[in-house]
A and B are shown apart, each in its own frame.
Chain A
Amino acid sequence: MTTKVIAGNTVDVNEEGFLTNPNEWNKEIAAELAKEEGIDALTESHWTVIDFCRTSAADSGKAPTLRAITSGSGVSTKDLFKLFPKGPAKKVAKISGLGKPEGCV
């Protein structure tokens, strides 16, 4: 595990750059991580998804899978791919300061 300075905050991250403690996360960190992932500005739709994932993870202790995000947030899979291109579940987990989704082993 290493530390990294994101938007002026020193946080713990794993080797793939995921925050290891969701409590160290804040909205500025999210914006900065989004930029690293190629998303210039977080819109309201992005936040709907991020908020859903944060709430879901607070409940279950892990980042939700793509399927769980689609059924729980009301945002369609297609729109999720527009908002968070390529791997949306992984990308939104990273931006939301959660671990990598466990769905794929």
Chain B
Amino acid sequence: MKKIVILGAGTAGTMVANRFSKMLDLNQWQVTLVDEDPIHYYQAGYIFMPFGMQDEKGIVKPKKKYIPSSMNLVQATIKSIEPENNRVSLDNGTTLDYDYLIVATGCDIYPEETPGLAEHEWGKSIHTFYNLEGAKKLQQKLQTWQGGRLVVNVVENPIKCPVAPMEFLMLADYWFTKRGMRDKVELVYATPLPGAFTKPIASKMIGDLLDKKNIKVESEFYVERAEPDAKKIVSYDEREVDYDLLVSIPVNKGADVVGEAGLGDDLNFAYVNKHTFLSDKFDNIFVLGDAANVPTSKAGSVAHYSIDLFGENFERYINGKELVPEFDGHANCFVESGYGKGVLIDFNYEQQPLPGTFPIPGIGPFQLLKNTRINHLGKLSFQWMYWNILMRGLHIPLPANMVMAGKKQVTVN
């Protein structure tokens, strides 16, 4: 019996497990998953929760429900990975040997890395919506908040779902308007980036949208510390932004065990080949999902597309063939913009987001880089697709790599 160990049973780990159950002869392969948390979270729901637009029931499910019954899901914390010995140690005292290791431990927020953030005002005037607990607390806070200056701050990149902070702000604009208190609220986005997004055309389009909604952007703002009593954040170049309510996207880091095993960078994101996800250091370790250091968005859609191709590649690999460097970094993100509308962006490692139609060239129904109702419906239906198609390992008849057909070349002016 050959052994595969999958670390992490979130979005990527679950998709890979389902893929393996269809692809491998499980009389010859023993597949074990490890995760410390029995709950699977639909993280894209976190942006809606603070505004009461998403209930908890729809975004938390037992992990077990989505793991093939032929596989073993161990609930434990991973203590160490020993790549030289092909072994993983768990906090319950067991060790697992493997022939192949799949690392899918994702990334998480570390507010304690920024002075002043996770101290006595955390959960009071300083919040986050980047985990379930935070999103719930922020919902309570907003219910009674009287208005003032609401600042959303991204501490450092990369973060998962880089458009989520802007979605939060646009939903806030909508929600405060509906409650008749938009005139009492100032909305500010303090980001280390020079603009709304990293790539010029989308940055201009989304930047204009923020502008129209009267959301101010404080760009190239690298926060050094929060001053919870003075209610301000201070950047490394001594700029100060005052707030009444701070919504922070703290530093996102990969799992410590990845860093400790020598697989990762300063933020514990693992170095891999960006087309095959094979670790740079060990030829029997693959890293999928947010845990990998690859220059595309950390998003569930990316994990989905990449695992489509990874599956085929892994099958070749275990049969002694070469990996084909196929994956192009394809990302596809619905950007919720409030008022029942949304913007869709589609891009890869080389190609920045362009306007056009998706997925059928010339037809759509989704419109790229346009603010439409149908894009919003796409965002909502993604939740259903996530639980019922993606996490069940069912196939979506869409190409995994990005398609240029249906996209229009434009220039930014």
- Enumerate chain A interface residues (CB-CB to B < 8 A): 65-68, 71, 77-78, 80-82, 85-87, 102-105
Contact = CB atoms under 8 A, between A and B. Distances in A.
Contacts of A80: 236
B224 A77 contact: yes
Nearest to A77: B236
Contact of B237 (A66, A85, A102, A104): A85
Given A67-B156, A81-B237, A104-B193, A86 B265 contact: no
B95 interface: no
Interface of B: 156-158, 162, 192-194, 198, 220, 222, 224, 235-237, 265-267, 295-297
B262 to A, nearest CB: 15
Given A81-B236, A103-B157, A71 B224 contact: no
Contacts of A78: 224, 236
A105 B296 contact: yes
B158 A104 contact: yes
A86 B220 contact: yes
Contacts of B193: 104
A66 B162 CA distance: 18
A68 B347 CA distance: 27
A86 B221 CA distance: 8
Contacts, number: 43
Nearest to A76: B236
A105 B237 contact: no
Given A77-B222, A77-B236, A104-B162, 9 more contacts: A65-B265, A81-B235, A81-B237, A82-B237, A87-B194, A102-B295, A103-B157, A104-B193, A105-B198
Contact of B157 (A77, A82, A86, A104): A104
Contacts of B296: 105
4 tightest CB-CB pairs across the interface, nearest first?
A: A104-B157, A102-B295, A81-B236, A67-B266
A66 B296 CA distance: 18
Interface centre among B156, B235, B266, B297 (most CB of A within 10 A): B266
13 contacts: A65-B266, A67-B156, A67-B267, A68-B265, A78-B224, A81-B222, A81-B235, A87-B220, A103-B157, A103-B158, A104-B192, A105-B157, A105-B297
B405 to A, nearest CB: 23
Contacts of B220: 86-87
Given A68-B265, A71-B266, A78-B236, A105 B295 contact: yes
Nearest to A87: B220
A23 to B, nearest CB: 22
Interface centre among A86, A102, A104, A105 (most CB of B within 10 A): A105
Contacts of A67: 156, 266-267
Contacts of A66: 156, 222
Nearest to B266: A67
Interface centre among A67, A78, A103 (most CB of B within 10 A): A103
B237 A86 contact: yes
Contacts of B237: 81-82, 85-86
Interface centre among A67, A86, A87 (most CB of B within 10 A): A86
Contacts of A65: 265-266
A105 B162 contact: yes
B368 to A, nearest CB: 18
Nearest to A62: B295
B112 to A, nearest CB: 16
A87 B162 CA distance: 18
Nearest to A65: B266
A87 B219 CA distance: 10
Contacts of A103: 157-158
Contacts of B198: 104-105
Nearest to B159: A104
Contacts of B194: 87
A42 B70 CA distance: 63
A48 B377 CA distance: 52
Nearest to B191: A104
A45 B157 CA distance: 25
